[in-house]
Amino acid sequence: MKGKEMDTQNINLLEGREKQVYEKTAGGAEVDIACEKTSLSGSVSQRACVFCGSRVVLYPVADAIHIVHGPIGCAAYTWDIRGAVSSGPELHRLSFSTDLQEMDVIYGGEKKLYRSLIELIDQYQPNAAFIYSTCIIGLIGDDIDAVCKKVAKEKGIPVLPVHSEGFKGTKKDGYKAACLALMKLIGQGSTEGISKYSINILGEFNLAGEAWIIREYYEKMGIEVVATMTGDGRIDAIRRSHGASLNVVQCSGSMTTLAKEMEEKYGIPFIRVSYFGFEDMSKSLYDVAQHFPERPDIMEKAKEIVRDEIRKYYPEMQKFKAALAGKKAAIYVGGAFKTFSLIKALRTIGMSVVLAGSQTGNQQDYKNLKEMCDEGTVIVDDSNPVELSKFILEKEADLLIGGVKERPIAFKLGVAFCDHNHERKIPLAGFIGMYYFAREVYESVMSPVWQFAPRKGGAQ
Amino acid sequence: MTTNGSATKTMTAKTATQNACKLCNPLGACLAFRGIEKCVPFLHGSQGCATYIRRYLISHYKEPIDIASSNFNEETAVFGGSHNLKLGLKNVTQQYQPQVIGIATTCLSETIGDDVPMILKEYKAIMGEADLPTMVFASTPSYQGSHIDGFHAAVRSAVQTFATGGAKKNLVNLFSGMISPADIRYLKEILKEFGMPFMLLPDYSQTLDGGPWAEYHRIPPGGTPTSAIAESGSAAASIEFGSTLEAKKSAAGYLEESFGVPRHQLPLPIGVKASDRFFTLLEELTGQPMPEKYEDERRRLIDAYADGHKYVFGRKAILYGEEDLVISMAAFLREFGVVPVLCASGGKSGLMKKRMLELIPDLEELEIQVREGVDFVDIENEAKVLKPDFLIGNSKGFTMSRKNELPLIRVGFPIHDRFGGQRLHHLGYRGTQELFDRIVNTVIEERQNSSPVGYTYI
């Protein structure tokens, strides 16, 4: 009921976390945010693990089978959880596990892995197989590389080990392990017939068909897209991706390693882009066009696309802006790069940002974030529900942007929510994605249900 | 290239588990710990375990579910988890101020052989016992059993930690198993109306299905108070749901062995007969007749069976999920002539068929298949042969349901592709009524949709 004793004592930041939280104030001390650390024991981090990092990066490769080597949990919790769609095969939506039992842990799981692989490859005839090692594989000493080699030889397809033991680092290390696996494929295919005006789209996972939207823009510009990694991914496309002239990297956290490797090995330069919001989306087309100065028609096409698309959605955006102007948002997402785009996208619809944070940002990310943010904005690295909710309430945020684990925090506190994670079913990338984003924010922020929330005076 | 759509035309791979019909051990423990008042679940292992399990539970319950983790790193795995566990306990105590920390292991900490009870002992010695939260510990290696084993291990461990003996009281324990928050609320209502003091464990009816908050609650309100669990050792009796739950693994089993509290094991009360057994037992234990309200519920249910029987008689169903749920659902379906042609579970108690024969003596004659330790590819292969009219189980069967155009009646956990899974009733006359209505309506809807006439009365 109203007025009931509330749980209001101020939270104390955990010892060891003070440096992962920063509030931008006028004349405030310049503090380097501590980041890229493993999460503190006993904190309820919103992060996952190395395995999760590898799994998210490789998940959308749709003509490969993904086998999780370990006890059942890791495979069960990642079965068909993402909105990464495929235009053809859908092997990525199946869940395979060696489901190790106690005896396997004692005597080793290599034989079980071998049998599993042979049988699954016979059954599904995939173009490749990824084998993810989970926590205990490192401990029981299974030589998964040897098993993979053997099976690859017998079956004539790439069988790629992904060293993603959960405890061996953070999610970022999982990204790296995934990139390493992809590097083993790249360079294996023929680059014959690939246009000079070609790119790979990296770090785009085709959630709700986003890669298709982006691909279409580039193709309209006269650019050939050799491979998307890994959205709607195909083994053959990845194998010949070293034939592209440029790597265009979104979700820089997960794919910069790969772009750097490809630059080193194949001399392919890369640029970082973001497809969220009109501003960054337009820039990502212009930046690619600029890479091909000898073809001014590409830039012309890019400008035409931007013009047409913005014209299409601008009037609707004004309606959203009129309603949302002055509202405050909190952002807590996986990668910091996405945070930058979201701040800009929110400004487009008249909203300010009072909390910005990520699970895996680095020093430079947070420095940029500090520069971008308004005064009073709280910046957090690797936060947790207690901290997030404290800042959301203190700063009177009207909206939280995050993922599944953040959603109930927002709803419990009577705050609107926009899902910007891997499970989303509505595309938020591209110009049309900005429209959907604004609409989703509008529908949640403006919903009449919040009138009943305790923070708005409703009964508790 | 074989796609998802036509995967089974060749031989089926048997060694790997494909599309598992089970979850891992620690998930069940976290869920059970959420049903103890002022308790924080704590996983001793990698950060990912806690995060994945949180995400998974949230998808069903739509509530914040904070699970702490000792966040293993490479050094921890080499030198043991003692330091991380102690630091983690200290940190979670500082930030959550719990009365109880529910600690469950993972495959990682179990494989390196951490002796958690010993570490806890050391921790208490260092910290001084006075102001510490009580630590409840369940061993839940993911390479053994499934989520339901973790659930029962956590409940048993809570009782082992808190229960004390003493003169018998006018008190009944109810260990209701892994059921929905709505079911828990209904059971509490029943017990209350029988007028007998009770202790229901675990009670996550409010912690996982509660109201809005003005402030973030580190620990959501609700749950079984530890003081109540403490009294469970002096109860007059324990009722424990779960056909395959062995005494040596159960809370009631522990109380019987240690404090002589008689254990009454019942199947989950789904269906008229199983609900009758539950209510009859309550009558015996309390000396009270069943309240009129429930007589009414029962009468309405019997009446509904009569009204609906023709729609469902002889229909075939495939049931899947936790063994105990499947067993009780199967017996319930037999009350109105539906044949559960396949009763499947990812669990492997080895007891499923035996328990089913007790409830369905003509099991063999009806050619009902009972299969433990199966996955969804196995179930789907069976479905192609058995050609059921509908499926009954959790959301994980949706892919199979869609591919084979079989209606899916969602029950149990997880339900993450429909709204309100936490508010579904399954138990007692009320839950049975709800299930029966849904089953009949599934058949009616199918008939109505497939009829060229478009009947408006069916």
Tell me the per-residue pLDDT of B156-214, one tens digit each, with 9 for 90 and over.
999 999 999 989 999 999 999 999 999 999 999 999 999 999 999 999 999 999 999 99
Nearest 5°: the CA angle A432, A438, A442 is: 145
CB pair distance less than 8 Å for B52 and A414: no
Q: What per-residue confidence (pLDDT) applies to A7?
A: 38
Residue corresponding to tokens 């023929």: A190
Distance from CA of A282 to the nearest CA of B (A): 34
User: Is residue A45 a part of any domain in this protein?
Assistant: no
Question: Residue A116 is part of which domain span?
Answer: 50-185
Evaluate whether A438 touches A349 at the Cβ level (below 8 Å): yes
Q: Which of B6, B76, B143 to mutate to test the interface with A (most CBs of A within 10 A)?
A: B143
Q: What per-residue confidence (pLDDT) applies to B3?
A: 43
User: Is residue A54 a part of any domain in this protein?
Assistant: yes
Evaluate whether A287 touches A273 at the Cβ level (below 8 Å): yes
Q: Which of A185, A206, A230 is the last residue before a domain boundary?
A: A185
Q: For chain A, what is the domain count?
A: 3
Shared-domain flag, residues A227 and A296: yes
Give the dihedral sign, CA B335/B341/B346/B348.
positive
Shared-domain flag, residues A176 and A72: yes
Q: What per-residue confidence (pLDDT) applies to B190?
A: 98
Q: Which of A307, A337, A371 is the last residue before a domain boundary?
A: A307
User: Is residue A7 a part of any domain in this protein?
Assistant: no
Shared-domain flag, residues A70 and A24: no
Shared-domain flag, residues A301 and A215: yes
Nearest to B23 among A49, A76, A127 (CB): A76
Shared-domain flag, residues A214 and A254: yes
Domains assigned to chain B: 25-162 (3.40.50.1980), 172-210+217-286 (3.40.50.1980), 309-450 (3.40.50.1980)
User: Is residue A438 a part of any domain in this protein?
Assistant: no
Q: What per-residue confidence (pLDDT) applies to B199?
A: 98
Shared-domain flag, residues A27 and A62: no
Shared-domain flag, residues A276 and A401: no
How far is residue B320 from each of residues A46, B18, B20, B338, B388, measured CA to CA in Å?
Answer: 32, 15, 11, 15, 13
Shared-domain flag, residues A246 and A350: no
Containing A266, the helix (H) or strand (E) segment is helix A252-266
Shared-domain flag, residues A92 and A136: yes
Q: What per-residue confidence (pLDDT) applies to B209?
A: 97
Helix (H, G, I), strand (E, B) or coil at A28: coil
Evaluate whether B206 touches B223 at the Cβ level (below 8 Å): yes
B399 chain-A contacts, CB cut-off 8 A = 80, 93
CB pair distance less than 8 Å for B53 and A77: yes
**Which residue ranges of chain A lie beneath pLDDT 50?**
1-10
Q: What per-residue confidence (pLDDT) applies to A11?
A: 55
Q: Which of A124, A154, A185 is the last residue before a domain boundary?
A: A185
- For residue range B388-416, list pLDDT tens digits in order: 999 999 999 999 999 999 999 999 999 99
Shared-domain flag, residues A167 and A291: no
Q: What per-residue confidence (pLDDT) applies to A1?
A: 33
CB pair distance less than 8 Å for A94 and B18: yes
Evaluate whether B37 touches A61 at the Cβ level (below 8 Å): no
d(CA B124, CA A8): 29
Q: What per-residue confidence (pLDDT) applies to B81?
A: 93
Phi, psi of A181, rounded to the nearest 5 degrees: -65, -40
Beta bridge partners of A378: A23, A355
Q: What per-residue confidence (pLDDT) applies to B380?
A: 97
d(CA B391, CA B381): 14
Q: Which of B12, B17, B97 to mutate to test the interface with A (most CBs of A within 10 A)?
A: B17
Helix (H, G, I), strand (E, B) or coil at A202: strand
Q: Which of B2, B46, B132 to mutate to test the interface with A (most CBs of A within 10 A)?
A: B46
User: Is residue A406 a part of any domain in this protein?
Assistant: yes
The CATH number covering residue A209 comes to 3.40.50.1980
User: Is residue A432 a part of any domain in this protein?
Assistant: no
Q: What per-residue confidence (pLDDT) applies to B384?
A: 96
Helix (H, G, I), strand (E, B) or coil at A437: helix
Model ipTM? 0.94
User: Is residue A444 a part of any domain in this protein?
Assistant: no
Nearest to B95 among A75, A166, A386 (CB): A386
User: Is residue A13 a part of any domain in this protein?
Assistant: no
- For residue range B56-73, list pLDDT tens digits in order: 999 999 999 999 999 999
Shared-domain flag, residues A149 and A207: no
Shared-domain flag, residues A299 and A331: no
Helices (H), A156-192: 171-185
